[in-house]
């Protein structure tokens, strides 16, 4: 290894952090086993019951460190405007100085691990190389699952290759000194005083979304918070779909969907390509092609069961790291809305003794697993893992889907009229908050393209980038919006969701291929009555109406709210999006009169 850029940078960071020693991660099974052993001996990780959970480990984060901390996450561009109102901003000099204070001596008595990793297949011209320096074995072991890591990446980097400089230290895990800093202009990420995945597995949100979105803007591609899945029809043809939903809204479940009986009997199959991130490029054939840059799943555990996601249950049976779930006394794991009966007692995510039926001072059930507890599992263990994960150019997209969690207003599915309307649809996405973010659960917040926490530059420029790309695509995918979460007057979900969502994907693919007619509404195209396969579901005419009802007054209110939301982007907001807002209002008004 003779890459002077890399060696000098490591030297400089080590001078600041003062680790006792430096260990290079080679990606070998032997080294991984050694590290596991060491982490088990110090209590950083707990080995689970190896008969029930072969190769599985358990970890608890600090109780103040259980989700991404968006308020402590900064984009540090020279010009504040370039970060945009969608990001917290700090001047680079100040950010380096302040975090530098926290990093100073932070690794004393600890090892600094050097993790060379590739986002995307090693050697693909579309992949990006990062090097993460960290003092956490937990981070190393997670990165070995989530990314392609080790010496092969160093070989690929060569002596003069460039890379994203990722520095992480747990330091004191002090939430008053926690900072997650991105320097897109320096291709650098600094994360300090956290041990939570989304803040510290720097290949994931920090590199593959925040830094990559910035690189994509400059290099002409998109880094998106999207799952990628293939839907194979009975003829063997596979259509690929990318879908953006905010965190903890079911991307992993949709990506691993099990077809309902009537579909599987006809030969339909699902292929999982990714559950969180898509890098999308324009192919030579004029279509969009998507790559999942990761090689594992960092999924939300609670709610994962054999009804919601049997493929995930199968994926996490071995070689998986569980974080902040409930630990049972026989070395097993459990979480709320999980599989099988709840244990009578165990150790909760926060290390406290837990008994089934426990309530807090308000009489509310005390969860055994944190609502944002996670599993980290290798992609290849998914029973429906697509071999296309290894394809350097990825998969061609037939459709792009946007979606949120909205108990009211938004219909089950609609199709945008054209690319610009589709970009407007994505840009005006809103969703109710979930446990993956700090904030009041259930509050509706704007989350354009599910990228609000992840766009590494001014979102006005990001919208412009989407619109510009649209002009270059000869064969654009259809753009759709879905909402599985609409509720009836009794506060019950109207749509059954899970595997049944394939019925909607089926309609989407048929529409994208121009095979079925649709009804034009002021919002977009929706299925004709009878156009959606509802066979075997208990949804009658009035249920269908309730799923697709468009309340024009409320939509005019929504459009006004979107204008308010857009106004924060000032002159950086593309005029086309305001035009789309005007068109929507006109359509709503004329349909009303």
Interacting residue ranges for ligand OXD, rule: CB under 6 A: 68, 198, 247, 276, 298, 436
Helix (H, G, I), strand (E, B) or coil at 178: coil
Residue 408 DSSP symbol: S
Terminal CA-CA length for the chain: 72
520's enclosing H/E stretch is: strand 518-520
**Residue 199 CB, nearest approach to Mn ion (Å):** 13
Sole window of 53-61, 115-123, 270-278, 554-562 interacting with Mn ion (rule: CB under 5 A): 270-278
Nearer to Mn ion, 107 or 433 (CB): 433
Q: Find which of ligand OXD, Mn ion, none residue 464 binds, CB within 5 to 8 Å per kind.
A: none
431 touches Mn ion by CB under 5 A: no
**Residue 66 CB, nearest approach to ligand OXD (Å):** 11
What are the tokens at 125?
């011209």
275 touches Mn ion by CB under 5 A: no
Q: Which residues of 411-424 are buried (b: 16+ CB within 10 A; e: fewer)?
A: bbbbbbbebbbbbb
Query: Which member of 65, 132, 276, 506 binds Mn ion (CB under 5 A)?
Result: 276
Nearer to ligand OXD, 68 or 178 (CB): 68
**Residue 204 CB, nearest approach to ligand OXD (Å):** 7
**Residue 73 CB, nearest approach to ligand OXD (Å):** 12
Query: Which member of 3, 86, 87, 247 binds Mn ion (CB under 5 A)?
Result: 247
* Rounded CA separation 114/389 (Å): 25
* Rounded CA separation 269/546 (Å): 29
In the chain, DSSP finds a helix count (H) and a strand count (E) of: 17, 31
Site mask, Mn ion, residues 200-239, x = CB under 5 A? ----------------------------------------
Nearer to Mn ion, 181 or 227 (CB): 227
* SS3 sequence of 309-370: CHHHHHHCCCCCEEECCEECCCCCEECCCCCCCCCCEEECCCCCEEECCCECCCCCECCCCC
Nearer to Mn ion, 276 or 432 (CB): 276
Q: Where are the beta strands (DSSP E) in 105-192?
A: 111-119, 128-134, 148-149, 164-169, 179-183, 188-192
Q: Find which of ligand OXD, Mn ion, none residue 68 binds, CB within 5 to 8 Å per kind.
A: ligand OXD
501 touches Mn ion by CB under 5 A: no
Residue nearest to ligand OXD (CB): 247
**Residue 249 CB, nearest approach to Mn ion (Å):** 9
**Residue 198 CB, nearest approach to ligand OXD (Å):** 5
Nearer to ligand OXD, 57 or 450 (CB): 450
Sole window of 131-139, 269-277, 292-300, 348-356 interacting with Mn ion (rule: CB under 5 A): 269-277
* Rounded CA separation 428/412 (Å): 16
Nearer to ligand OXD, 400 or 435 (CB): 435
82 touches Mn ion by CB under 5 A: no
> Which residues from 283-312 bind Mn ion, rule CB under 5 A?
none
* Rounded CA separation 82/458 (Å): 5
What are the tokens at 274?
């990714």
The answer to whether 249 is a known catalytic residue is yes
Contact 85, 569 (CB under 8 A): yes
Q: Find which of Mn ion, ligand OXD, none residue 534 binds, CB within 5 to 8 Å per kind.
A: none
Contact 193, 172 (CB under 8 A): yes
Residue nearest to Mn ion (CB): 276
**Residue 247 CB, nearest approach to ligand OXD (Å):** 3
* Rounded CA separation 202/188 (Å): 10
Contact 255, 383 (CB under 8 A): no
Nearer to Mn ion, 208 or 319 (CB): 208
Q: Of the listed 206, 249, 382, 455, which one is catalytic?
A: 249
Q: Find which of Mn ion, ligand OXD, none residue 296 binds, CB within 5 to 8 Å per kind.
A: none
23's enclosing H/E stretch is: strand 21-24
In the complex, which residues of this chain contact Mn ion (CB under 5 A)? 247, 276
List the catalytic residues.
249
């Amino acid at each position: 290894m003779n890459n002077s850029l890399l060696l000098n940078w490591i030297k400089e960071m080590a001078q600041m952090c003062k680790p006792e020693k430096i260990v290079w991660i080679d990606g070998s099974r032997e080294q991984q086993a050694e590290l596991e052993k060491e982490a088990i001996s110090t209590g950083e990780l707990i080995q689970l019951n190896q008969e029930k959970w072969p190769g599985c480990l358990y970890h608890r984060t600090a109780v103040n460190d259980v989700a991404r901390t968006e308020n402590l996450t900064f984009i540090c561009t020279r010009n504040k405007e370039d970060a945009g109102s969608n990001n917290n901003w700090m001047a680079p000099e100040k950010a380096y100085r302040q975090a530098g204070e926290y990093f100073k001596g932070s690794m004393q008595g600890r090892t600094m691990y050097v993790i060379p990793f590739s986002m995307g297949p090693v050697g693909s011209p579309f992949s990006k190389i990062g090097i993460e320096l960290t003092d956490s074995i937990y981070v190393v072991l997670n990165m070995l699952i989530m990314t392609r890591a080790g010496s092969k990446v160093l070989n690929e980097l060569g002596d003069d290759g460039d890379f994203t400089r990722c520095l992480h230290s747990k330091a004191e895990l002090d939430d008053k000194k926690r900072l997650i800093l991105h320097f897109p202009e320096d291709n650098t990420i600094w994360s300090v005083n956290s041990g939570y995945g989304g803040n510290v597995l720097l290949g994931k949100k920090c590199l593959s979304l925040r830094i990559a979105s910035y690189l994509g803007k400059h290099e002409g591609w998109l880094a998106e918070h999207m799952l990628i899945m293939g839907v194979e029809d009975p003829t063997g043809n596979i259509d690929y779909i990318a879908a953006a939903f905010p965190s903890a809204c079911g991307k992993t479940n949709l990506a691993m969907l099990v077809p309902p009986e009537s579909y599987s009997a006809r030969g339909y199959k699902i292929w999982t390509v990714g559950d969180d991130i898509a890098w999308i490029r324009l192919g030579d054939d004029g279509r969009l092609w998507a790559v999942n840059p990761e090689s594992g799943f960092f999924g939300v555990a609670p709610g994962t069961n054999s009804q919601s996601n049997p493929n995930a249950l199968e994926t996490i049976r071995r070689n998986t790291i569980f974080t902040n779930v409930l630990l049972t006394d026989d070395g097993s794991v459990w979480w709320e809305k999980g599989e099988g009966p709840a244990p009578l007692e165990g150790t909760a995510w926060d290390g406290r003794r837990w008994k089934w039926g426990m309530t807090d001072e308000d009489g509310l059930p005390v969860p055994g697993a944190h609502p944002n507890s996670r599993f980290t599992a290798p992609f290849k263990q998914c029973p429906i893992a697509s071999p296309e994960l290894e394809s350097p150019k990825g998969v061609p997209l037939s459709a792009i889907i946007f979606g949120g969690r909205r108990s009211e207003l938004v219909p089950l599915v609609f199709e945008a009229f054209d690319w610009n309307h589709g970009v407007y649809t994505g840009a005006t996405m809103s969703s109710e908050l979930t446990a993956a973010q700090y904030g009041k659960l259930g509050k509706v917040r704007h989350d354009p393209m599910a990228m609000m926490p992840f766009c590494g530059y001014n979102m006005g420029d990001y919208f412009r980038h989407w619109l510009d790309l649209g002009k270059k695509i000869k064969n654009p995918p259809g753009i759709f919006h879905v909402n599985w979460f609409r509720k009836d007057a009794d506060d019950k979900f109207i749509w059954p969701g899970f595997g049944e969502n394939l019925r909607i994907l089926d309609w989407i693919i048929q529409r994208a291929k121009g095979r079925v007619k649709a009804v034009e509404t002021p919002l977009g195209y929706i299925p004709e009555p009878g156009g959606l396969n509802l066979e075997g579901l208990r949804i009658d005419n009035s249920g269908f109406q309730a799923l697709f009802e468009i309340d024009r007054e409320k939509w005019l209110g929504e459009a006004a709210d979107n204008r308010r939301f857009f106004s924060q982007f000032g002159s950086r907001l593309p005029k086309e999006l305001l035009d789309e807002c005007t068109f929507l209002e006109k359509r709503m008004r004329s349909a009303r009169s």
